[in-house]
Every structure is written in structure tokens, then in C-alpha cells.
Amino acid sequence: MSDLNFNYALLLPEIILAATGGIVLLSDAFRRELKLGRNMLPWITVAGAVLATLASVAQAGIVEDFAGIVLVDAFTTFFRVLFGLTLAVVVIGSHEYVAKQIRGQGEFYTMLLFATVGASFMAMSTELITAYVGIELLSFSLYVAVSLAKSDPRSGEAGLKYVLLGGLASAILLYGLSLVYGAAGSTDYATIAKNLSEGRDGMHAPLLMGLTMVIAGLGFKASAVPFHMWTPDAYEGAPLPVTAVLSATSKAAAFAVLLRLFGGPFLPAIADWQGTIAFLAVLTMVVGNLIAIQQHNIKRLLAYSSIGQVGFMLMAIVTISDASTSAVLMHLGGYLITNLAVFMGVIAFYNQTGSEEIADMKGLAETNPFLALVIAAGLFSLAGMPLLAGFTTKFILFQAAAYGGYLWLVGVAVVASTVSLYYYLMVIKQIYVIQTDGSLLDPQAHDVVVPRWRLTWTGYLTTATLLVAMVVVGLWVAPLAHAADSAAKALFG
Amino acid sequence: MTETDGYILIALFALPLGVALLLMLLPSRERSALMAITGLSSLVLFGLSVYIFARYDYTSTEQFQGVVAWTWLENVGFLGERGIQFKVGLDGIGSAMVLLTGIVILAGTWVSWKIQRRTKDFFILLYVLVGGVYGTFVMLDMFFFFLMYETSLLPMYLLIAVWGSTRKQYGAMKLMMMLLAASILIFTGIFAIFTEAGVGTFDMEVLYAAEYSTTMQKIFFPMIALGCGTLGGMFPFHSWSPDGHAAAPTAVSMLHAGVLMKVGAFGIIRLGIQVLPEGAVYWGPALITVGIVAALYGAISALQQTDMKLMSGFSSVSHMGYVFVGLGTMNVIGMTGAVLQMFAHGIMTALFFLLIGGIYDQAHNRDITNFSGMAKQMPLWAIFFIIGSLASLGLPGLSGFIAELHIFVGAFRSYPVVGGLAILTAAITTTYLIRMGAQVFFGELSPRWTGLKELTWMERAGATVLVLSILALGLWPAPWIDRIATTLAQTIPGVSL
């Protein structure tokens, strides 16, 4: 096996992230000896995330595999940059929250860093075992991070639920992968594709079972209905920044694996899984968006809304092609920005008020108009309203599915998307329509002065950046679209 | 129109959106600055709208004038060489609609200065709405058309739910959800058109020229027509309109009934009739049926209302019914009438809502049966109202007559029965307007209302602009008819003279 390429420089971003994890852990342990303030930890983490992002950008344009198990190409770079920036934004936006609410800050930041490493490996792996290890690295880090909240009993419960159900899903996934290995005779994506397209006698049944189990396992990680049960509880119980990572990094990584698998090795067997995924997509967007209507807690609402979003993105797997991959990557980028904007807004709100209830957001438009704008814009963007990222990327995602011949599926998606606007409007109603004392506004009366509060500078920095990014993607999507398109072309050649 | 005028088309929607952004940065205490900015920009928008209307050259054979385009996204995924373009341009129908928007926003801005609470936020949302409306009228790329269309709906919920009156939460939510549910059909229709055309671009001029199978046209024309028609108050999906308009603040009712409902009808022309002409011919009779039912139903419902705003809301449904009748005739006279009616109704309904707002803000009451003898107390108010009513019932010399005449003639050509029913509707319209006038303006002045003051100067100015527009179209309709009729005759395949 001397022809394998062991160019470790290819893994530089992951090495930086993992090393930063080690540094954070050690500097937390030797804090007294090193005379480090506790507040150094988030900044070390951010530095690591930014360095890793820069390192991945520097590798743009390279197409090279490492030992035949991972591949650095435009697709990998797209996700690495996404994950690196997500990590940086989450840490900057939530370090005050973490300082107050989290037990063991060192562990917390380390877990986020390791989770990002796992996510990167999920995006870059071209071999089943490596992909599985990446998934487990991400999941284990998040199992720990979910249960790190200091005073909230829901956190431990959420962690337990997540780890039990997650373990079950991993087992199913692994069983599925081994069946696929049996049917296709390899764990290497390219070889699987070759063997499946040639077809082997008597291997159809195990392949079908394997594919179904893989879909179930990955569906759990991406929280597709009916494998979504853990999502609302884990989202609600987890500390807010972890919820943000669950809904951003973890979801995007699951899609990276789905795209690599179903756009590559499983593509020859498309007839075997297309219907299943279309069914899951319908179920996911309908159930996610309908149940979201009944929620009173903003985290649970966002959990169901993110399930609904997964349904939309699954449409791109159903109609998999370079066009739909490019569209879903673009949507993923827009969705991450939007979702993070909402989460950073909610974190800032929680830091001030200590509440996650939607009803407690009443009058926010008067007590903090800027934060009100950020959250409202984020929710409108999630609903796919124009001038914001959500409209543009969703339009292109839906059009791609329609172009792929699934107009009926798009019809369902558009209906579900309209339903989603209803529950986003319920939040916006609390923020803008209801006043702090619970009454409605009388347009003829004169202005009353309501005491205002301000965000911290990091709060302003993250929310303002994300707000601007949301508008920029909404009105000038070309840079994101071209990045997504070259990533998709890397996958489909 | 030249290419330079194309940049003015861009300014039409860039200016209001820019003003919205500017206002966001303005401290909310600065009330005089707010009035200065909005006052100035409403004047500029009005001026630009008139200029654009005047500059539109109806003798030219080009379908769209002042076309300016940049590629915005191309060669990505399913998008081809031209992909999505940022492309503006105007046809005769658009020029009339631009003028309408300019007039209504001028009056709408002036009367909104009365609002005392969170005035800045109100104007931000109002100008986003206006930007969206202008954008819809001038965009020539289907992606941007729909983006602007949705932009004009985006601020609606908050505008009504925060600053409205009378069951405002219910009215706002109903309006928003019904209109967005309708967008589902438009969304799907656009996707289908793009896929069927298979040219990899959302450029409308290319999509107009593309071939669509007859079956596809028959399936998707009604989706577009229903989707856009719901915003246009098409029966039976009009029910958001009376509730929404009753709940909305004055300027929002003016813009919504005056302009936004026309965006719906405009959408039927742009996305429906012009792209899928065979579908339009096939479904024309259905459009006429729906239109005439709406006209009759709206008029009869208006007859039963005692709330002035509800009456005006149902009257809008009725008048928009004529528009659908006109569009369904598929002949140039009828369709010209439809577009004229869009303009005429836009102006007069804005006038009604302005006047009703003028009395409601003082009396906190707008029940017809509670008023009498108001002509003595508020003579100017009464005069404006009567002029509006006369235009609405189609008195010759005023705007409504010109529009309805065209529609009736067009309808008689295609379906004489419909023409007869349309005239019956006009008679019912006369009844409810005269009945209201007799009750409210004449008779004994109730002592309860002796404290009411005449309209404010701003309201008088706004009403005057609207009344002058009614007179202009009524007395000299040629500029409108030239622009609209030539566009229709040139551009819609399958339309007869």
C-alpha cells in the first residue's frame, strides 16, 4: 500500500481545531499556574476556528485525497469554511452566556472544537468507516455539550435522551453500513459506485435493507421525521449555544454525508431509495411545521422549525443532481446564517431576561428595537420572505426540485413553508404588536418612554454581522451561489 | 423612453427602500426630520411617476421601454447563460400603474403624519411596501418580480396589527395568511413555467417568447390567476379584503386597496395572460363568471354594511370584479377597461379610505347609522365624499365612467348577458352610495357630532390630489387609453380587437 498519499498538510484545518481543543483543555486545567483569566478560553477557541477557516480557504482549488479515506475538494472546503465560521460566530456571540450558565468552560469549548472536527471529517470522507467515525466524533462531543448546563435539570435529561437515542441510531446506521458493504463489496465510495452500477446477483435484498437502515440512521442525525423525536427535547434542554450548533453544524454535516453518499456511491441504486426519501421529505416538512405551531418555548419552536427545514433540504436528495446539490448547498449557507442570527438574538435576549418563553418577548420592539429587528428579520428569513437570505435560497432550492421533475413535492413544500410563516408571525406578534404591559398599541395616543437596554459589544457584533449577511445573501447571492456550485461540481465532476 | 429612463425606473423602488433604510438609522425622537424626509421623498416619487408616465412612448413598437439589465446569477446549477437578471423595463400597463402608485403614496404619506405612536417604524414599513409595489410594476425578471411582489406583502401584517383598529389582530393575520397561501399557487406556477420553458432563465421577455404546451397552459393559468387574483380580491377568496381593510390604518387601507390589489390584477396579466395566452383564452369565461359574481356579490354585501370601511371594502371587491370581467373578455376594449378600472378604482378607493380615516380619527365611530347632517359640520369632507361616490357609480366626466364603459362594451361583445349583469351591478352601486350619502350628509345634525372638525390641511391636500386625478382621467382619458390599448394589442397573443 505504498501508493497511498499521506500528505498531512491536507488535514491542517482539522489539526488546528483538534490542537486548539487540547490547548483549551490544558489552559483551563492549568489556569492558576498560567495566570490566565477564564475569559481567555473563548478567544483561544475563536482564534483556532478562524485559523482553521483560513487554512481551509488556503486549500481551495486543491483536489487531493488523503490515504484514500478523505478527499479535499471544493465540496470539503465549502463545508469546512461553513463549520469554521459557525463555530467562531457561536463562540463570540455566546461567551457571556457560557461564563454564566455552563459547568466546565474548558470542556465546553473543547467539545465544540471536537464536534467541528467530526463534522469536517463527515464532509470530507470518501469511505464508509471514516464517515462513521466522523459522525460518532460529532455526536459524542455534542452528547457531552448538551448536558453541561449548570442549573437546568432539563439539560441532564436532554443529554441522556440524546445519548440513548443517538446510540440506537448509530447502531442502526452501522448495521446498515455493514449490509451495504456486504452488498457492494467495499467501503470505498468509488468502488461501491462501480460495483452497484454493475449489479451483483442476489445482493438486492441486503442492499435495500442496508440503504433503508442508512437512511434511518442519517435521518436521525439530520432529525428527519419519524426519527426526530429527540430533537425538541435535546434542543430545549441543551444550553443555547449548543442548540445553535445542533441546528447548524450538526445538521449541515449530516447533509454533507447524505450528499456524498447519495450523490456518489448510492447513485446507481437511485430507484431503491428515491421514493423513501421523497416520503421522508413530505413527512418531515409537514410534521415539523405543523407541530411548531403549538410551541411556547422559543427553543422548541426553533427545533420544529429546523425539522421543517430539513424536509425542504431532503427534496434536493430526492432529485439529486449537480443542480439540486448546488441549490441545497446554497440554501444550507443561507439557512446557517439565518438560524445563527436568530439564535444569537435569543442568546442576547436570554442574557438580559433569563427567559426562553415566546410570551416574554412582548414589547421587545420598544425595549430593544435592534434585537427585535434581528430576531424578526431572522424569522422572516426562515419563513422565506424577500430581501432576506431565506427567500432567495429557498426559491432556488424549490426551483431545483421542480426542475428535477418533482413539482408535486415542491407544491407540498410551498404549503408547508406558508404554514411556517404562521408560527413565526406569532413570535413577531409578541415582539412588535404586544406592548410590554400586554396591551395593544393605540395609534392616536402619544409615545410613552419605555426604558431600553443594550446588548454587549460582542452581542452587537455577531447579530449585526449576521443581519447584514442575511440581507447580502438575499440581494446578492452570486458569491455564495458560485461557491456552492463549484462544491456541487466537485461532487459530480 | 431611453435607457436613462431605465435608471429612473430603478430609482422608483430603490428610493423608497433607501428611505426605509435611512429612517431605521434616524433617532425616533426626530419627528420633524421624519416628516421632512418622507414628505420630500413622496413628492419626488410622485414627480418621477408622472415623468415616467409622460415619457412612455406609445407610438413605439417596442414592448418594453427603458430596459436596463444586469446579470445577477448565471451558469449556476439549472440556470443558464442569462439566468436571473436584475432587469427593469416598462410597458403601457406598467406606466399607468406607476402613476397610480405615485398619486396614492403622495396622499398616503401626508395623512400618515397624524400617527403619533412609533411613527418612524410605521413609515419604514410603509416605504418597504411602496418599494415592493413599484418594483413589481417595473421588474422584467420573474425571480425579481416575485421578490418584489412578496416584499410588498411582507410589512402588511405589522402595519395592520400594530397601527390598525377594530379587530386588528384578526384582520391582519387573516389578510397575511390568505395572501401568502395564495402565493403558494404563484410560486408553483412560476416553477412550472420555468421548467416547461426549459431555457434556463427567468427573463420575462424570453419566457414570453418560449413555447408552452396547451395542456400545461390550461393547468397552470388558473393557478396563477387564483394566486394573483386573491390579492386582487377575486371572489370567493376576497374575504381577507373587508376585514383587512377595516382593521388597517388609513394610509395602509389606501395603499392596499388602492395599489396592492392592483398588483394582483397586474400579476394576472404579467404572469398569466402574457405568458400563458392559450390558458387565458381557455379560462377567460371562468374569469368573467368569477368577476361578475364578485361584482354583484360585493355590491349586494356593501348594501348591507353600516360600517363605512366595510362598505368600502366590499365596494372594492365589487369594483375589482369588473377588472376580472374585463380581463376575461380577451378583447382589447374589455382589457383596456380592466386596466383603466384598476387605475380609476385605485384612486377613488384611496379617496374613500382617506375620508373615512379623517372622520374615524376624531369620532372613533364610522357607523353610517350614527351620522346625519354631516354636510353642515364638515362641508369639505362631504363634497370630497360625494365626488368619490359619483366616480364610483360611474358618472360621466369622472374616472369610473371611462373604465366601466370600456368593460361594458367589451363584455357585450363577448357575452351580452354579462354586460347586462354588469349594468345591474352599477345600479346597486348607485343605491348603496346614494343611501349612505342621504343618511350621512343630510338631515338633522346630531348634537353628538358638533365637536367634529373639518379635515386637516394634510387630508385636504391629499383628497385634492386624488380628486384632481379622478377628474383628469374622466375628462381626458386619451393618455391612459393610448398607452394601455397599444400595449395590449401589441403584446398579448390571441387577443382580438
| Sequence spans of domains, chain A | 271-493
Whether residue A266 has pLDDT greater than 60: yes
pLDDT band at A83 (very low <50, low <70, confident <90, very high): very high
- Structure-model confidence comparison of residues A202 and B360, the more confident one: B360
Closest residue in B to A409 (Cα) is B188
Burial-class residue B192 by CB neighbours within 10 Å (0-12, 13-18, 19+): buried
Confidence of residue A437 (pLDDT cuts 50, 70, 90): confident
Mean pLDDT of A53-71: 91
The 10 Å Cβ neighbour count of residue B479 is 17
The percent of residues in chain A predicted with pLDDT above 90, rounded, is: 77
Q: Do B154 and A326 touch (CB under 8 A)?
A: no
pLDDT at B99 over 80: yes
Is pLDDT above 60 for A2?
A: no
From the list B72, B143, B191, the residue facing A407 with the nearest CB is B191
| Interatomic CA distance for residues B63 and B57, integer angstroms | 10
Mean pLDDT of chain B: 90
B141 beta partners? B203
**Out of A407-411, A455-459, B373-377, least confident range:** B373-377
d(Cα A173, Cα A69) in Å, to the nearest integer? 19
The per-residue pLDDT for B494 is 60
pLDDT by residue (tens digit) across A328-387? Answer: 999 999 999 999 999 999 999 999 999 999 999 998 988 999 999 999 999 999 999 999
Mean pLDDT of all residues in A278-306: 94
Specify whether the CB–CB gap between B37 and B19 falls below 8 A: yes
Instruction: Categorize the per-residue pLDDT at B493 as very low, low, confident or very high, splitting at 50, 70 and 90.
Output: low
The chain B residue lying nearest A441, using CA atoms, is B162
Chain A residues touching B78 at Cβ < 8 A: 323, 327, 399-400, 403
CB atoms B173 and A425 under 8 Å: yes
**Residue pointed to by grid coordinates 487540547:** A22
Position A1 scores a pLDDT of 47
For chain A, say whether B21 makes contact (Cβ under 8 Å): no
For residue A30, the model assigns a pLDDT of 87
Whether A37 has a pLDDT exceeding 80, the answer reads: no
**What single-letter amino acid sits at B131?**
G
**Interface contact B169-A447, CB threshold 8 A:** no
CA A391/CA A473 separation, integer angstroms: 10
Which residues, in sequence order, are bridge partners of residue B331? B496
pLDDT tops 80 at residue A246? yes
Mean pLDDT of A170-190: 93
Chain A residue with the nearest C-alpha to that of B31: A447
CA–CA distance, B250 with A207 (Å, rounded to integer): 65
Query: Using the beta-carbon criterion (under 8 Å), do A399 and B183 form an inter-chain contact?
Result: no
Residue B487's alpha-carbon distances to A416, A446, B60, B336, B472, in angstroms, are 38, 49, 10, 9, 21
User: What is the pLDDT averaged over residues B186-209?
Assistant: 91
CA end-to-end span of chain A: 26
Q: What is the pLDDT of residue B394?
A: 86
For B472, other C-beta atoms within 10 Å of its C-beta total 15
- Residue A427 CA to its chain's centroid (Å): 22
Closest CA to A167 of A156, A159, A155: A159
Choose among B142, B246, B273: nearest CA to B202.
B142
Contact between residue B390 and residue B427 where contact means Cβ atoms under 8 Å apart: no
Contacts of B308 (CB under 8 A, 6+ apart): B356, B359, B360, B366, B367, B368, B436
Q: How many CB pairs under 8 A join A and B?
A: 130
Contact A485 B77 (CB under 8 A): yes
Which helix (H) or strand (E) is B90 found in, with range? strand B84-90
Whether residue B477 is preceded by a cis peptide bond, meaning omega within 30 degrees of 0, is no
Which residue of A387, A388, A398 to mutate against B (max B Cβ within 10 Å)?
A: A387
Closest CA to B35 of B51, B17, B23, B21: B23
Please state, as a whole number, how many other Cβ atoms lie within 10 Å of the Cβ of residue A30.
11
Residues 150-189 of B with CB under 8 A from A: 150-151, 154, 157-158, 161-165, 168-169, 173, 176-177, 180-181, 183-184, 187-188
> Of A373, A400, A421, which has the smallest distance from its Cβ to B77's Cβ?
A400
CA-CA distances (angstroms) from residue B206 to A323, A424, B148, B443, B491?
Answer: 21, 37, 20, 61, 13
Residues 6+ apart with CB under 8 A from A291: A304
Length of chain B: 497
A chain contacts of residue B169, beta-carbon cutoff 8 Å: 429, 433, 440
State whether A398 and B121 contact (CB < 8 Å): no
Q: How far is B209 from chain A (nearest CA, A)?
A: 20
- The number of beta carbons lying within 10 Å of the beta carbon of residue A266 is 26
Q: Which of A326, A395, A440 sits opposite B77 (nearest CB)?
A: A326
pLDDT at A13: 95
* Contact in structure between B245 and B257 (CB atoms under 8 Å): yes
Residues comprising chain A, all counted? 493
At residue A62, φ and ψ (nearest 5 deg) are: -80, 140
Count how many Cα atoms sit within 13 Å of the Cα of residue A327 in the half-sphere of its side chain.
29
ipTM rounded to 2 decimals: 0.92
Least CA distance to B29: which residue of chain A? A447
- For cell 404562521, name the residue: A422
Average pLDDT, chain A: 92
Residue A235 has pLDDT above 60, yes or no: yes
Chain B, residues 50-89, CB within 8 A of chain A, namely 72-73, 75-78
Residue A444, C-alpha cell as written in the block: 392616536
Q: What's the pLDDT tens digit per position in B134-190?
A: 999 999 999 999 999 999 998 999 999 988 887 888 889 999 999 988 988 998 999
Distance CA B315, CA B349 (A): 9
Q: Which of A102-111, B10-19, B24-33 bottoms out in mean pLDDT, i.e. has the lowest?
A: B24-33
CA of B223: which chain A residue's CA is closest?
A411
User: What value does the mean pLDDT take over residues B314-328?
Assistant: 92
Q: Determine the average pLDDT of the residues in B466-473.
A: 94
Considering only CB atoms, A441 lies closest to which of B114, B117, B148, namely B117
pLDDT one-digit tens code per residue, B249-298:
888 899 988 999 999 999 999 999 989 988 999 999 999 999 999 999 99
A298: closest CA among A350, A359, A356, A238? A356
- Read off the amino acid at residue A370: F
Query: pLDDT at position A476, please?
Result: 92
**Cell numbers linked to B404:** 366601466
Considering CB atoms only, which of A365, A414, A429 is closest to B187?
A414
Helix, strand or coil for residue A297?
strand
Q: How confident is the model at residue A447 (pLDDT cuts 50, 70, 90)?
A: low
| CB of A307 closer than 8 Å to CB of A382 | no
Interface test with B, best of A399, A436, A475 (most B CBs within 10 A): A399
Domain boundary assignment for chain B: 3-491
The per-residue b/e assignment along B294-310, b for 16 or more CB within 10 angstroms, e otherwise, is bbbbbbebbbebebbbb
